[in-house]
Chain A
Amino acid sequence: MTRIVKQRIVAQWVTPTTLHCELGEFDDCVNKAMLIGLCRTHLYAHMALKIADIVPGFNELLVQFIPSEIDYYDDLQQVEQLLKQCINDSLATTLKQTDVSLTDAGGKAITRIPVDFSADYDLVDVAERLALSRADLIAQFCALEFSVILNGFMPGFVYLSGLPENFHLPRLATPRLHVPAGSVAIADAYCGIYPQRSPGGWHILGITEHVLFDIQRPTPASFATGDVIQFYPLTPLNTPANTSNNTSKMSKACD
């Protein structure tokens, strides 16, 4: 039951209730996170009554069906057709990461998130490895626009795409036992924000107080696949870091 549509989508039943849809390779200029977000919305809009959940992945969508509503062959065909239609429509309206008009005309507003860079976890270390000054690193990082790929790993943990290649660093050799809540961190090709205190091996650049997941809200997760995020520094860029202040903050966070 595997079919390929124009070499792009491979939809396949992986369990008797789950359809795995792999989107193929695209040009580098295509913002895949935004594309997967659009595909998800498109599937929900047309098949809402049949679907129990759609889990977006880095290059795939996992569609879980309500068992009593499944119609194996027809659903496979319909999902393929909807995805194909959505991808073709989106690509036609140029989904490019660097396209400024997308944020103006496309209706996707940028969410700006304040980040406190004063607590030095890995900031100096990362700056050294990237051969940048601390201030330059913060300035360059805050100039970037990130797209939300997905929430995963824990409720509200956002994986962000849009990290330029010179920022790619392997994970820490020894993961931290406690990464504080709100840590904005980078590893490999991704940037991420920790919604709660947990173990983790990413390079922490700063801390944000933005709440990423609150179960009491109608939509608990702050961000969905395809949203656009930009960070801004909470403290003025040129203030030299006060070392005694840093250590007290670090010990507080590590309690």
Chain B
Amino acid sequence: MYHEAAIDGDSQKGMFQNSNCENYATTYREVYQRRLLESPYAALGESALEAVQNSTKLSQLIEVWAMIGAQCADPPASQEVRNGDSVQSSLMGIPLKDMIKSIALEAVCRNWAGSPEDFTKLLERLYQTADIREQQLIIRVLPLLKFQEHFVRIATEAARTNIVPVFSALALGNPFPQAHFNENQWNQMVLKAIFVNCAIGTIVGLHERHNSSLAETIFQYISERHSAQRSVPRAVVELCEQALSAASLLQLNAIKPALLQE
């Protein structure tokens, strides 16, 4: 399997869209419903959906978001999803206020009568003018959206951001990159996750999308860390070994006894 990915990493892309994104969407909606009903904000959730029913403009959606923001006093839960050990628990960590906003966005997308290109423009503008928490919720809800294949540019922006919570919203517990990133985009995201010290075990598709090019770059990273006498997470070493060339594997094995592992 890893060998195939090594030959053509891009062929893996898309294959997971219908399964993982759909499962994620189902779980997301379930978690949302459950949390909403347990909260005092069920009516707010409904009125938000009503309010966006005929929204076709950015300003309308932003007004609805402002209403949700003003009325939902949900204390911010953990802003980061990096420690979520499953999709479900990471969804539980999203502030309810943000989940309501994301479901309103999803409704605008579902009811969209215009072209996917026009919706993409709206979503990109929304993302560009969003605050940190809003950017996270946009990224978390991407796998639920219609036309999601058009939103790769937004996702690559999130993959490049220096704002770690936003990056984590994409990289961890989110099936979107696995379904839509090409090999280069995928590899850069995983490398960045390693660099900013995320728990890479929560990257959806980590093993399915692994490839030899990524393994070689991770090996360079391990070697660099070793030279600097810095430690490397065990999970990173294990991932690297999975698709490494024989020559590099020999080198890795040579430094491994002295390598500091966490």
A and B found bound together: no
State the B residues within 8 Å of A (CB): none
State the A residues within 8 Å of B (CB): none
